[in-house]
Each structure stands twice: as C-alpha cells, then as structure tokens.
Amino acid sequence: MITAERKPMQEIIDYVSPFNRILLVGCNECVTVCAAGGRKEVGLLASALQMSFMQRGKALDIQEITLERQCDPEYVEQLVNYVDRYDAVLSMACGCGVQEVARRYKTKPVFPALNTKFMGASEHQGIWAERCQGCGDCVLGVTGGICPIARCSKRIMNGPCGGSTKGKCEINPDIECAWQLIWDRLKMLGLEDRYEEIMEAKDWRTSRDGGPRRIVREDLAS
Amino acid sequence: MKPFEPEIVAFCCHYCAYTAADMAGSMRIGYPPNVKIIKAPCSGKIDAIHIMKALEKGADGVYVAGCLEGDCHFKNGNNNAARRVKYLQKLLDEIGVGGERIAMITMSAGMGGRFAETAAEFTEKIRKLGPNPAKTAAGEKLEKAIA
C-alpha cells in the first residue's frame, strides 16, 4: 500500500485558516489501511479543526466525505455535488488523490492533509515499513523475494557492504541488512548458487530517472 | 458571572469502573456531580472520536476509566484505550486545547473509594485549568452576537 502520515496540525490549520467552508475528503484505500486518511481519521481531523476554529471564535462549516478511491476520476466525480458549496478542499489521500482532485476541480483550492511516505507493508499493527521503490524492473525473482533496492540503505545490487553487522544495517541497528535477509532466504530455499551470480549495473531508466512514468494498455485505453 | 463549574465526561467500562462507581454509591461515598458517566462495555470500545466529540460539544475534561492493568475482561481493551488517550493528548496539545484535559484512569470493580477520589481529583485539576478554550471562545462570540 501507499503509506502516509498526517501533517502537523499547525501546517493544516495554516492552509485552511483563510476559509470558512471546507470539504474534507478521505480515501477508502491505502490511507485507510495505514490509519492516516480513512473515515475515522477524517472524523478526528474535522473535530480537531472545528475546535481550533472555535478557539479563535471563528465558525467552520466542514463537510466530511470519504471516497472509495481518490486516485480514480470516477470516484472523484462524486464530489461534483459538494465542491461548489465549499471554499476549499482538504484532502486526506496520498499525493495521487490530492492531485486528482486538484486536476478535476481546477478553480478550487486543494490542500494536502497528509505527507505521503512510501510503498510498504504492515510489519505489526501500527507499524509499516518500506518494501518497494517502484524501480520498474523487479528483481525479487533472483533475490529470494527481498528487495535490495527498497530495503538496502545503499541500494546495492551485489551486497552486502562492509557496514552489515550481525544482520543489521550500519545506518541504524533497527534496520535489517537486506543482503543478510536475501542470503538467509536463498539458503533456506537451497538456492545459494543464485547469490554467486553477479547482477549487472541496473538500468535506472525504468525508474524515476527516465522522468515521470505512464502505463498505456492499448487493449483497455479508449 | 457564574463561577466556573467544569463539565466532565467519564467513559466507564461496565466490568470495573462503572461497577466501582456503583460501589461508591452503595458505600455512600460522594463524588462531584460535575462528572457525567457514560457506560461502555469495555474501555477499549471508546474510540478517539468519542473523546474528541465530547470536548467539541462542550466538555471541559474527559477521562476513560477502565480495569486495572492485566485485569481487562476482554484481555487488553484497557491498554488500547490508554494508547488512544496518549495519542489524543498530543493532538489536543497541537490544537491548543491541551492534552491534560483528558486522562486514562484504572481501577477494579471493588474500588468505590478510588472512583470517588479520582473523580474529585480530576474535577479539581480541570477546575484549575479553567474552561475548555474552544467552548469559551465560541461562547463569547455567541454572547456578543446575542447582545
């Protein structure tokens, strides 16, 4: 999922302070799962903003709405009946959702309430960790299902580096060495030979280095 | 102007705190009438939004009263409630309402005395803090509008 965290309240308050009518839009997808921008978080933020405005003796008309997805035009279209009644939109989606709302409602100020973090997985309840950097050319098939790009601090393709100590990364003892994990898993699978294969320099053009990316599926695109 | 009398909302779990409040009554121990009790099946059932809404609607202080550590009828509802209260304290600090206006308190069903004691302590703490700043500013504006 795409993970996110709520921005500091002061930053959100500064965005919406000039307005009296706010449409607060949550998203039912990734940000709901990582407890950052789902219906619950929308309710909490609306209440917090209401109290912040009340303290300044200002009235705030805030409408809460949580879309199935904010990164799809079909769902963003559902705001059409609400947007005109509000001065600004405060989005609790990831950056994709915020931009989709801003693209659709061009004359309406749209602000982000979250900081989008990374593509990750839940390690435990309440803990999420980075798992994928979307490099565009997946190597998990040869690295035992553990990504050296997202999980090695140096993104080393033929590791580990000299900073790997007792299975931990030198930058932080809480971070596991990705290459230690890769070795352990390959050994468990009886695929130690794969470790000996030298991976060539990665072609980063499939990643962000090739500029903003698009996927075009001609069988689906109309 | 009327002297400030805090409005306190106490979310009490059925198995311990609510029974403790009942016990306080049976033992004829008085506690401040400022505390309005809302019974919940477990303190873990109290969501962050319940606490926020209580403050937004005019409470000066809110506390969640659950079972003693390790004694939750549903295993760890009281620990979940404590974590939520801690999270909300930070949020309330951020918006200027003040995290000290909410608290997590634990007790057993037999602690009628402790229920009354903590109710009195919390009421006094909120009395010292003064009215909920959100309510005060909104109220002043309303009074001016009426005048």
* CA A211 – CA B5 distance, rounded (Å): 62
Tokens of B42: 């477990």
Average pLDDT, chain B: 94
pLDDT band at A108 (very low <50, low <70, confident <90, very high): very high
Domains of chain B: 8-146 (3.40.50)
* Domain assignment present for A215: no
Q: Domain tally for chain A?
A: 2
Q: Does A187 touch chain B (CB under 8 A)?
A: no
* Domain assignment present for A125: no
Question: Which residue segment(s) compose the domain that A40 sits in?
Answer: 2-118
Tell me: do A174 and A85 sit in the same domain. no
Q: What share of chain B is helix, strand, coil (3-state, %, to 5)?
A: 50, 15, 30
Q: Does the pLDDT value for residue B117 go beyond 80?
A: yes
Tell me: do A138 and A113 sit in the same domain. no
The stretch A53-68 carries a mean pLDDT of 95
pLDDT band at B2 (very low <50, low <70, confident <90, very high): confident
Locus of tokens 């001065």: A87
* Domain assignment present for A97: yes
* Domain assignment present for A191: yes
Q: Does the pLDDT value for residue B142 go beyond 70?
A: no
The stretch A98-124 carries a mean pLDDT of 97
pLDDT for residue A160: 95
Distance from CA of A9 to the nearest CA of B (A): 6
pLDDT band at B137 (very low <50, low <70, confident <90, very high): confident
Average pLDDT, chain A: 96
Q: Do B49 and A40 count as a contact with CB atoms less than 8 A apart?
A: yes
Tell me: do A195 and A137 sit in the same domain. yes
Indicate the residue among A91, A118, A145 that finishes a domain.
Answer: A118
Q: Does the pLDDT value for residue B80 go beyond 90?
A: yes
Judged by CB atoms within 8 Å, which residues 62-91 of B form the interface with A?
91
Facing residues of B89 across strands? none
Tell me: do A11 and A114 sit in the same domain. yes
Q: Do A50 and B91 count as a contact with CB atoms less than 8 A apart?
A: no
Q: Does the pLDDT value for residue A106 go beyond 70?
A: yes
pLDDT for residue B1: 67
Quote ipTM for the complex. 0.92
pLDDT for residue B146: 72
* Domain assignment present for A147: yes
Amino acid at residue number B62: V
Tokens of A197: 């294969």
pLDDT band at B136 (very low <50, low <70, confident <90, very high): confident
Tell me: do A29 and A74 sit in the same domain. yes
* Domain assignment present for A76: yes
Instruction: Please report, rounded to a whole number, the percentage of residues in chain A having pLDDT higher than 90.
Output: 98
* CA B89 – CA B77 distance, rounded (Å): 18
The stretch B127-131 carries a mean pLDDT of 96
* Domain assignment present for A35: yes
| B6 burial via Cβ count (<10 Å: 0-12, 13-18, 19+) | buried
Distance from CA of B26 to the nearest CA of A (A): 38
Tokens of A31: 């940000």
Find which of A47, A58, A60 to mutate to test the B interface (most B CBs within 10 Å of its CB).
A47
Judged by CB atoms within 8 Å, which residues 11-70 of B form the interface with A?
47-49, 52-53, 55-56
Half-sphere exposure of B66 (CA within 13 A, CB side): 26
Q: Does A44 touch chain B (CB under 8 A)?
A: yes
Q: Do B95 and A54 count as a contact with CB atoms less than 8 A apart?
A: no
Find all residues with CB under 8 Å of A109, minimum gap 6, and list them: A19, A87, A88, A89
Tell me: do A159 and A111 sit in the same domain. no
Q: Does the pLDDT value for residue A44 go beyond 70?
A: yes
Q: Does the pLDDT value for residue A20 go beyond 70?
A: yes
pLDDT for residue B141: 67
Q: Do A9 and B95 count as a contact with CB atoms less than 8 A apart?
A: yes
3-state secondary structure at position B37: strand
Tell which residue, A49, A48, A50, A45, has the closest CA to residue A65.
A45
The stretch A170-186 carries a mean pLDDT of 96
Q: Does A47 touch chain B (CB under 8 A)?
A: yes
Lowest mean pLDDT segment, chosen from A20-29, A77-86, B65-74, B135-144: B135-144
pLDDT for residue B135: 85
A105: domain CATH number is 3.40.50.2300
